[in-house]
Amino acid sequence: MEFYLTILVGLIFAASTYMMQSRSVIRLVLGVALLGNAVNLLIFTVGRVTRDIPPIIPADFHGTLTGIANPLPQALILTAIVIGFALFAFVLVLTYRAYESLGTDNSDEMRIAEPKKTQASKLTY
Amino acid sequence: MADQNLISEAMRTTPTLLAEWKILTPMLAPLVLAAVSLMLRQKDRWQFHIAVTAALIAMIGSGLLLFDIIIDGPQSLVMSGWLAPFGIAFTADSLSAIFAFVASLVTLLIILYSPADVDKAATKSGYYTLIMMLLVGVNGSFMTGDIFNLYVWFEVMLISSFGLLILGGDKIQLDGAVKYAFLNLLGTTFFLIATGLLYGVTGTLNFADLFAKVAASEATGTLAILSVLFLFAFGIKAAAFPMYFWLPAAYHTPRVAVSAIFAGLLTKIGVYALIRIFTIVFPDGNGAAFELFGVIGGLTIIVGGLGVIAQTELRRMLAYLLMSGVGIMMIGISIHTQLSLMATVQYTVHSMLMMTGLYLLSGVIGRMAGSFEIAKIGGIVMQNHFVAIAYFGLALAAMGLPPFSGLWPKYMMIMAAFEQGYYWLIAAILTGSLLTIIGVGRASIQMIWRGGGVDTPDGQYEARGKRLEGKQLRIMMLPISIIFILTLWLGISPNTLIRQSDLAAYDLLNVEQYIEATFGTGEHE
């Protein structure tokens, strides 16, 4: 199972890298979103996928449970999903606003913040 | 009573003392007050006072924590009483406390500057709330003893910085923010990838636990790859060559106070994370990483120096100056001796203060000249002597010339490189310094001494900018003067800082105390 999941994670990474190469900002956004999901799946996989019982301790049980699933990766993924969702929402609005006010979704044409050509003076130091 | 033993192995059984909460004040105070300021967002006059209080409490809290750490060694507190490595630990050693103290101080100074730079609309949109949340993220990153928790604090910091960057929503800001957002998002995602894989290899996320687990692990190849992944992720954050492109693209776009807090704090978090990870998780660098640090650091210094010369916009020039400093900090991690780490800590503190001061001052100069293009600025010395003197002082500090604070860390870094025989790193530091002197010096001649814009003949004064009102100028110059005095003091009498950074470097190279503090919570009762 872990083997197939690893292959899947690799494929999603490849797809997101391909998307992020694009000049179009919207593809960039999709690439970043895909990357976030690939990472979540990766954390899930490295937590070891087993067919064990859920990590819930019975009411009158005292001692160490064995053969339970690892609950930590799920907690990590949950945190990462929430954070990723917030950032994705922000980036989506940001790209939309940038598209609206800059009039382009081509990242090559987004050059307002870059320096313009200035005329050199003969008195410049 | 087997149950009782089992519980006391996993949880602390003694109550948490109030004094132990001290470690949380640097983030708890701004967090609570940020929430308060959000509730009172319509009362725009209160916002400033709330923010000043938050930064002041954070500063005093981290100052007191620093005293405790000097006397008793590193301090630790676990969440909900779950002992490390099960619970999330906050562990502060002297490095954390020094950085948190200076970061809170810098934030306080920037908040004091803000009334001159932030209008009512921006205040109501939550400018001060975001500044406080940024401080929460920064101080949280310094204090945490858990690598996944570090990721969470990074995101707290990142999302607040996004908000600050686009506040106002000018075209230029949106353009800068797109580049900043994507590249930083990529950086934190890579951090998360590396953290996930590290968990897969070692089964733990706690720094102190990682120290033993990584040393004992047999997966050396995987760990070597992971160390490079961490270097890449934090290299983006620290704006090291060749991952720096987002910094000069974005740092000149927001209002000056925001640029200043970014320059003062954000890249330093990347450097802090590098120092932390590469002293406790990968103390011997795992593979090529330390040589790589040297190469990256050296190139960052040179490229930053060349950028300082090439730029024609004041704030972009400062962005490259900032980057050049990051290179020096990375060289300190690369050499990895007591002396070099001490110089890194010292340089980081110096850079936090100096870069904040220079960015704030660029706001004053830009306001006076009506432009940030160096070629259009002129005659500052005729308009206001204090501004000219402050610029000279901070420029000398940036160049690393006496009597300001830049001299000592650079000198010690060169000494450390000399001791270890890294001669080309010395060459890189000195070349970078020379480039900085040429670039910043040339800008000073144009902006301070020349009478007006570039084509003004020598000896004539025709400044076009508007005079600043007395009150406005006083608000702006107060924090700059404090930074000026601090850098001068740290240059003339560097012993205080040297002693602290020496302690921090000792703690970094001898992590036993840190580990003891993390695991020992509640046991000494």
Q: What is the pLDDT of residues A8-33, one digit of tens each?
A: 999 999 999 999 999 999 999 999 99
Q: What is the pLDDT of residue A119?
A: 59
pLDDT string in tens for chain B (525-residue length):
456 666 777 777 777 777 778 889 999 999 999 999 999 988 888 999 999 999 999 999 999 999 999 988 888 888 877 877 788 889 999 999 999 999 999 999 999 999 988 888 888 889 999 999 999 999 999 999 999 999 999 999 999 999 999 998 888 899 999 999 999 999 999 999 999 999 989 988 999 999 988 888 888 888 988 999 999 999 999 999 888 999 988 999 999 999 999 999 999 999 999 999 999 998 876 666 788 899 999 999 999 999 999 888 899 999 999 999 999 999 999 999 999 999 999 999 999 999 999 999 999 999 888 888 888 888 888 888 899 999 999 999 999 888 899 899 999 999 999 999 899 999 999 999 999 999 999 888 888 888 777 777 777 777 666 667 788 888 999 999 999 999 999 999 999 899 999 999 998 998 888 888 888 754 443
Q: What is the pLDDT of residue A122?
A: 54
Q: What is the pLDDT of residue A113?
A: 79
| B169 contacts in chain A (CB < 8 Å) | 97, 101
Residue B143 contacts by C-beta under 8 Å, 6 or more apart in sequence? B23, B24, B26, B27, B90, B91, B92, B96, B100
B218 close contact with A: CB closer than 8 A: no
Q: What are residue B78's DSSP bridge partners?
A: B89
Read off φ and ψ for residue A124, nearest 5 degrees. Answer: -65, 140
Would strands B75-78 and B89-92 be described as parallel, antiparallel, or unpaired? antiparallel
B155 to A62: CB separation less than 8 angstroms, yes or no: no
A90, A101, A115: residue with CB nearest B316: A115
User: Domains of chain A by range and CATH?
Assistant: 2-52+70-103 (1.10.287)
Measure CA of the first residue to CA of the last residue in chain A; give whole Å: 66
Q: Given CA atoms B164, B192, B268, B50 in this order, what sign does their dihedral have? A: positive
For the record, the structure tokens of A48 come out as 């070891």
**Three-state DSSP state, B374:** helix
Q: Which helix (H) or strand (E) holds B35?
A: helix B25-39
| A83 contacts in chain B (CB < 8 Å) | 152, 155
Q: What is the pLDDT of residue B1?
A: 47
Q: What is the pLDDT of residue B395?
A: 93
A36, A63, A115: residue with CB nearest B6: A63
Q: Which of residues 52-71 of A touch B (CB under 8 A)?
A: 62-64
CB B308 within 8 A of CB B269: no
Convert B267-320 into a string of H (helix), E (strand) and C (coil).
HHHHHHHHHHHHHHHCCCCCCCHHHHHHHHHHHHHHHHHHHHHHCCEHHHHHHH
Closest CA of chain A from B433, distance in Å? 19
| A118 contacts in chain B (CB < 8 Å) | 312, 373, 375
CB A113 within 8 A of CB A43: no
* Whole-number Cα distances in Å, B1 to A62, A65, B378: 11, 18, 80
* Whole-number Cα distances in Å, A35 to A16, A28, A91, B161: 6, 10, 14, 22
**Three-state DSSP state, B469:** coil
CB B374 within 8 A of CB B446: yes
For the record, the structure tokens of B370 come out as 């009506």
Q: What is the pLDDT of residue B521?
A: 54
| A35 contacts in chain B (CB < 8 Å) | 186, 189
Q: Which of residues 342-381 of B touch A (CB under 8 A)?
A: 373, 375
Rg for chain A, CA atoms, rounded: 23
Per DSSP, helices labelled H in A1-125 are 2-20, 25-46, 72-102
| Nearest in space to B404 (alpha carbons), one of B301, B497, B504 | B497
> What's the whole-number mean pLDDT along residues A97-123?
77
* Residue B131, CA atoms < 13 Å, CB-side half-sphere: 37
Closest CA of chain B from A93, distance in Å? 11
B172 close contact with A: CB closer than 8 A: yes
B213 close contact with A: CB closer than 8 A: no
Query: A62 to chain B: nearest residue by CA?
Result: B3
In terms of C-beta density within 10 A (0-12 exposed, 13-18 middle, 19 or more buried), how is residue A5 classed? middle
| CA B207 to chain CA mean position, Å | 21
Longest dimension (CA), chain A: 88
DSSP states of B174-215: HHHHHHHHHHHHHHHHHHHHHHHHHHHHHS--BHHHHHHHHH
Q: What is the pLDDT of residues A32-72, one digit of tens each?
A: 999 999 999 999 998 888 777 777 777 777 777 777 778 88
For the record, the structure tokens of A32 come out as 């970043």
Q: What is the pLDDT of residue A120?
A: 58
Read off φ and ψ for residue B77, nearest 5 degrees. Answer: -145, 135
A87, A111, A115: residue with CB nearest B185: A87
Q: What angle do CA B61, B63, B68 make, to 5 degrees?
A: 95
| Single-letter residue type at A100 | E
* Whole-number Cα distances in Å, B473 to B260, B386, B444: 17, 10, 20
Query: A61 to chain B: nearest residue by CA?
Result: B3
CB B244 within 8 A of CB B307: no
User: What interhelical angle do B147-166 and B267-276 show, nearest 10?
Assistant: 170
Residue B407 contacts by C-beta under 8 Å, 6 or more apart in sequence? B400, B401, B491
In terms of C-beta density within 10 A (0-12 exposed, 13-18 middle, 19 or more buried), how is residue A122 classed? exposed
**Three-state DSSP state, B76:** strand
Q: What are residue B306's DSSP bridge partners?
A: none
In terms of C-beta density within 10 A (0-12 exposed, 13-18 middle, 19 or more buried), how is residue B15 classed? exposed
B194 close contact with A: CB closer than 8 A: no
Preferred mutation among B3, B80, B184, B192 to probe A, highest tally of A CBs within 10 A: B192
Q: What is the pLDDT of residue B128?
A: 94
> What does the alpha-carbon distance between residue B502 and residue B64 come to, in Å, rounded to a whole number?
19
**Quick check: bond before A115 cis, omega within 30?**
no
Q: What is the pLDDT of residue B454?
A: 74
